Amino acid sequence: MKKTSLSYYGRYPDEKGKFGRYGGIFAPEILMPALEELHEAFLRHHRDPGFQGELGRYLRDYAGRPTPLYYAQRLSWRLGCKVYLKREDLTHGGAHKLNNTLGQALLALRMGKKRLIAETGAGQHGLATAMAGAVLGLKTEVYMGEEDVERQRHNVYRMELLGAEVHPVKSGSRTLKDAINEAFRDWIAHVGDTHYVVGSVVGPHPYPLLVREFQRVIGKEIRQQVLEKEGRLPSLLVACIGGGSNALGAFYDFLEDPSVQLHGVEAGGQGLRTGRHSASLAAGSLGVLHGAYTRILQDEYGQIETSHSISAGLDYPGVGPELAFLQETGRLKVYTATDAEAVEAFHMLAKLEGILPALEPCHALAHLAKISRRLPPDSIVVLNLSGRGDKDLGVVQKFMEDRK
């Protein structure tokens, strides 16, 4: 039966790697054959039941999936609506990142690659790549901006304990975007034996597709779990957006359910008006960064601007092209929450539920707290709690002291 033109699934990305006008491949010629090879390998292995079985086993027995969908009763009372937390913070390593790195590392293994490289901001993706590399016996090297190395000493040590080599990046703004540049440069020089494990739904095609497919497990589980508990779909899904992998992973399997609203929350930093934020969707403009056409933070001449957020995982001047597309079509609504609002939400969840969340999903929670009273009374909300907050304790402590 022919599908109607309204259907989303199976249409994006198109054969040029585009989501509408977004995405595509804007990469140096050296990498083009490798990107083509990766796409072909992904299509082949991803439909192979053997590959899915092996990935499923690692996700279950190693990563600890499925993660619980937790009904947060005291939070629900406070916010005046029924709130479920999707506990990605309970994934091995403390964040959703491992879903993707296990998938990509298994794929790299099947492609005969000997070495993994990755970029990392806060260190969560680097850590998840180090875990996947260790458990699958692949040599792992991680690029991390010098400034982030300073801010996240513990994660650097964790990665090293897992056998990964961490390279501090001294170029540019010495943060995540420069770590990505440096990882690309490494890949350019070692494209034969190395797989670059991109950590979010960003980068040139096929990365936005790959990472989305490996993160979809979040949304698939939510769907099944919420139907079991409530017998109906949620009315609203909320997730934070940096590059966008946890959001797209949670949202994707609900795209064709118009009754489910999708809210993405970006880092408003010190406020959109100050210019110190990471809100590429809410306040950025069209351009090409790291191989994809999307919304980015740039000056009037097309130079990439430095982003800002209290949460290193959202501190990125670009965003996944599919999210830019979903925003343009109106399917995804985009909001922001500031550093201060995120920290406030951090304390709220800690006190009400005994959970120390990562600062990234605190942005989503802060947004939910702003709108919850306006939702219809029988609303069911699922918030993707993408990571745990251990890594952020120092940041929160410093923020509170500076405020005194």
Partner 1 sequence: MSRIQETFNQLKKRKEGALITFTTLGDPSLRRSVQLARRLAESGADILELGLPFSDPVADGPTIQASYQRALKAGMNTHRALEAVRKLRDKVKTPLVLLSYYNPVLRRGVAGFFRDFAEAGLDGVVVPDLPVEEAEPVSKAGKDAGVNLIFLVAPTTTERRLEKIVKAAEGFLYLVSLLGVTGARESLSALTKKTISRIAKHVEARIPVAVGFGISKPPHVREVIAAGADGAIVGSALIDLYTSSASNPAQALEKVSAYVHTLKAATAKKA
> For partner 1, which is the closer residue by CB, 191 or 352?
191
Distance CA 94, CA 131 (A): 12
Q: Which residues contact 153 (CB under 8 A, 6 or more apart)?
A: none
Known active-site residue 97: yes
As measured in angstroms, the least distance from the Cβ of 263 to partner 1 is: 29
Strand order across the beta sheet in which 22-23 lies: 18-19, 22-23, 292-296, 285-289
3-class secondary-structure state, position 63:
coil
> For partner 1, which is the closer residue by CB, 38 or 59?
38
CA distances in angstroms from 97 to 84, 100, 246, 264, listed in the order given: 20, 6, 8, 18
3-class secondary-structure state, position 23:
strand
Distance CA 157, CA 352 (A): 32
> For partner 1, which is the closer residue by CB, 28 or 394?
28
Known active-site residue 119: yes
> For partner 1, which is the closer residue by CB, 33 or 394?
33
Closest CA to 120 of 97, 152, 151, 142: 142
18, 82, 97, 391: the active-site residue: 97
> For partner 1, which is the closer residue by CB, 106 or 108?
108
Strand 261-269, strand 236-240: pairing: parallel
> For partner 1, which is the closer residue by CB, 291 or 320?
291
Closest CA to 230 of 48, 81, 126: 81
Strand partners, 168: 144
CA distances in angstroms from 42 to 17, 45, 198, 214, 393, listed in the order given: 14, 5, 14, 11, 38
3-state SS, one letter per residue, for 291-317: CEEEEECECCCCCECCCCCCCHHHCCC
200, 353, 386, 391: the active-site residue: 386
As measured in angstroms, the least distance from the Cβ of 275 to partner 1 is: 16
What residues make contact with partner 1 under the rule CB under 8 A? Answer: 16, 24-34, 171-172, 177-178, 181, 184-185, 188-192, 286-291, 296, 298, 300-304
**Hunting for tokens 């990562």 — which residue is that?**
358
As measured in angstroms, the least distance from the Cβ of 180 to partner 1 is: 8
Question: What residues are annotated to the active site?
Answer: 97, 119, 386
